C-alpha cells in the first residue's frame, strides 16, 4: 500500500502521538465536531492498522535509546469521561491496542470538567438571551441551536484564559441562570479509573482543575501539577509517570517554569498539543501531539505525513 510505504520511509526514529478527548456514541448537538465512536473505530481499523502502536511510556523510552520501530505511534486521551469505559476502552481492547489516558483529578473531589459545565448549562439555559452582566461577555441570543453552539465556543474561549477563581465565579453565575448545578454533570468515578488502569491502559495526570498554567500562581501550579499526580497514584495504587499540559501550547499555555515543575514533581515525561513528531532531540517533557480531524481516509493519511514533517515548538528548559 502506497500510504504505508510513505509512512515507513518518513518515520525513521520519529514518534507520532495522536490525541483524542471525549468520544461519544452520538455527537452532542452542541459539539457536532466531536469524533464519535463510529468514526473512532474506523480510525482504529484504517489509520492505526498502518502504524505500530506502542504504549506511550515505552515509546518515549525507546525513542531515547534509539530502538523505536518505523511507523511508531501512540494513542492518548485527555480530560476524563465515564463513557470511555463503555466505548473507547472495549474498542481498543478488541484490537489489542494500548492507549494512555490523561485525567483531571478534580472530578474525584466532585468538581466536573469546566467545559462540561458550560455544555450542561447551555442545554438548559432559558432564552432568548444569555446575559450574565459581565462587560467582556455582552448579551448574545440563544434562540436556535446554532446560537447555543456559538455561545459554547465563545464561553470556552473566554473562560479558558481566566484565573481559576474568576472562572469558577462565572461558571456559577451561568449555572444559576440556567437552573443547573455542577453536581448534575457526570464525572468519572474512582472505581472507573481503577477499572481503566486494571485493563492495562496507561494513566497520566492532566492537572486537577484544567487551568491554563500560565494563569496560575506558583502555589496553584504546584497543586495542579504535583497534587494531581499524588491524587491519581493514591486512587490507582501505582505510579503515574506522564503529564499533559492543559490546552498544551508552548509559550501560550505553559512555560519553562511549568516544564521544570513537571520534572520536579516526579514525572518521567509530558505531552503538549503542538503538532509534530518527537525524535531523539525532543525533550521527554515536551512530546508533541496532534488530532487527525479529517473525515476522508486519504486526508487522514496526508495529515499523518504532514505531521511527520512538522518541527514541533518547544520552550527552553533549565539544564538538568
- Segment 86-115, tens digit of pLDDT: 999 999 999 999 999 999 999 999 999 999
- Give the residue-averaged pLDDT of 201-206: 98
Give the pLDDT confidence score for residue 4 in this predicted structure.
81
Does one domain contain both 204 and 80?
yes
Q: What is the pTM of this model?
A: 0.97
> How many residues in total does the chain contain?
320
Please report whether residue 239 resides in a domain. Answer: yes
Which three three-digit cell numbers place residue 15?
A: 514518534
Please report whether residue 315 resides in a domain. Answer: no
Query: Model confidence at 66, in pLDDT bands (50, 70, 90)?
Result: very high
Give the pLDDT confidence score for residue 2 in this predicted structure.
61
- Segment 8-30, tens digit of pLDDT: 899 999 999 999 999 999 999 99
Helix axes 228-236, 190-198, angle to 10 degrees: 70
Give the pLDDT confidence score for residue 305 in this predicted structure.
94
Q: How many domains does the chain have?
A: 2
Please report whether residue 294 resides in a domain. Answer: yes
Does one domain contain both 29 and 90?
yes
Domain end among 161, 184, 207 = 184
Does one domain contain both 84 and 210?
yes
Does one domain contain both 173 and 203?
no
- Segment 255-288, tens digit of pLDDT: 999 999 999 999 999 999 999 999 999 999 999 9
Domain end among 159, 184, 209 = 184
- Segment 25-45, tens digit of pLDDT: 999 999 999 999 999 999 999
Q: In this structure, how many other beta carbons lie within 10 angstroms of the beta carbon of residue 104? A: 26
Does one domain contain both 179 and 199?
no
Q: Identify whether the C-beta of residue 175 lies closer than 8 Å to the C-beta of residue 130.
A: no
- Find the domain containing 213 and state its range: 2-110+188-308
Does one domain contain both 86 and 42?
yes
Does one domain contain both 118 and 251?
no
Please report whether residue 316 resides in a domain. Answer: no
Does one domain contain both 65 and 208?
yes
Residue 1: pLDDT over 80: no
Query: Model confidence at 192, in pLDDT bands (50, 70, 90)?
Result: very high
Please report whether residue 50 resides in a domain. Answer: yes
Q: How far is CA 252 from CA 167, 256, 276, 294, in A?
A: 18, 12, 17, 25
Q: Strand 140-141 and strand 129-130: pairing? A: antiparallel
Burial of 183 (0-12, 13-18, 19+ CB in 10 A): exposed
Please report whether residue 123 resides in a domain. Answer: yes
Residue 66's φ and ψ, nearest 5 degrees, are 70, 30
Which three three-digit cell numbers place residue 198?
A: 486494571
Does one domain contain both 125 and 87?
no
For residues 161 and 159, what is the distance between their CA atoms, to the nearest angstrom?
A: 6
Please report whether residue 127 resides in a domain. Answer: yes
For residues 32 and 136, what is the distance between their CA atoms, to the nearest angstrom?
A: 26
For residues 283 and 281, what is the distance between their CA atoms, to the nearest angstrom?
A: 6
Domain harbouring 225, CATH code: 3.20.20.370
Please report whether residue 155 resides in a domain. Answer: yes
Question: What's the whole-number average pLDDT of the chain?
Answer: 96
Q: Identify whether the C-beta of residue 142 lies closer than 8 Å to the C-beta of residue 148.
A: yes
Cross-strand pairs, 53: 73
Does one domain contain both 97 and 180?
no
Domain end among 135, 168, 184 = 184
- Segment 123-178, tens digit of pLDDT: 999 999 999 999 999 999 999 999 999 999 999 999 999 999 999 999 999 999 99
Does one domain contain both 223 and 78?
yes
Does one domain contain both 9 and 55?
yes
Amino acid at each position: 500500500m502506497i500510504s504505508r510505504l510513505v509512512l515507513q520511509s518518513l518515520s525513521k526514529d520519529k514518534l507520532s502521538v495522536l490525541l483524542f478527548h471525549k468520544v461519544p456514541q452520538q455527537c452532542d448537538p452542541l459539539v457536532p465536531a466531536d469524533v464519535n465512536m463510529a468514526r473512532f473505530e474506523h480510525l482504529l481499523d484504517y489509520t492505526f492498522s498502518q502504524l505500530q502502536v506502542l504504549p506511550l511510556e515505552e515509546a518515549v523510552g525507546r525513542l531515547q535509546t534509539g530502538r523505536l520501530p518505523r511507523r511508531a505511534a501512540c494513542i492518548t486521551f485527555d480530560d476524563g469521561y465515564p463513557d470511555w469505559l463503555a466505548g473507547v476502552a472495549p474498542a481498543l481492547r478488541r484490537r489489542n491496542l494500548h492507549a494512555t489516558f490523561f485525567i483531571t483529578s478534580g472530578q474525584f473531589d466532585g468538581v466536573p470538567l469546566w467545559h462540561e459545565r458550560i455544555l450542561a448549562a447551555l442545554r438548559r439555559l432559558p432564552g432568548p438571551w444569555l446575559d450574565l452582566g459581565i462587560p467582556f461577555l455582552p448579551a448574545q441570543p440563544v434562540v436556535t441551536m446554532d446560537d447555543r453552539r456559538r455561545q459554547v465556543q465563545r464561553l470556552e474561549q473566554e473562560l479558558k484564559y481566566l484565573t481559576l477563581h474568576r472562572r469558577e465565579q462565572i461558571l456559577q453565575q451561568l449555572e444559576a441562570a440556567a437552573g443547573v448545578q455542577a453536581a448534575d454533570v457526570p464525572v468519572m468515578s474512582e472505581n472507573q479509573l481503577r477499572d481503566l488502569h486494571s485493563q492495562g491502559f496507561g494513566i497520566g495526570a492532566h492537572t486537577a482543575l484544567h487551568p491554563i498554567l500560565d494563569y496560575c500562581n506558583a502555589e496553584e501550579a504546584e497543586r495542579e501539577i504535583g497534587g494531581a499526580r499524588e491524587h491519581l497514584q493514591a486512587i490507582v495504587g501505582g505510579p503515574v509517570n506522564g503529564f499533559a499540559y492543559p490546552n498544551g501550547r508552548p509559550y501560550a499555555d505553559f512555560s519553562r517554569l511549568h516544564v521544570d515543575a513537571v520534572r520536579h514533581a516526579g514525572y518521567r515525561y509530558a505531552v503538549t498539543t503542538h503538532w509534530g513528531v518527537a525524535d531523539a532531540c525532543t525533550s521527554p517533557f515536551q512530546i508533541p501531539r496532534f488530532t487527525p480531524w479529517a473525515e476522508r481516509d486519504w486526508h487522514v493519511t496526508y495529515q499523518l505525513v504532514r505531521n511527520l514533517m512538522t518541527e514541533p515548538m518547544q520552550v527552553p528548559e533549565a539544564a538538568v
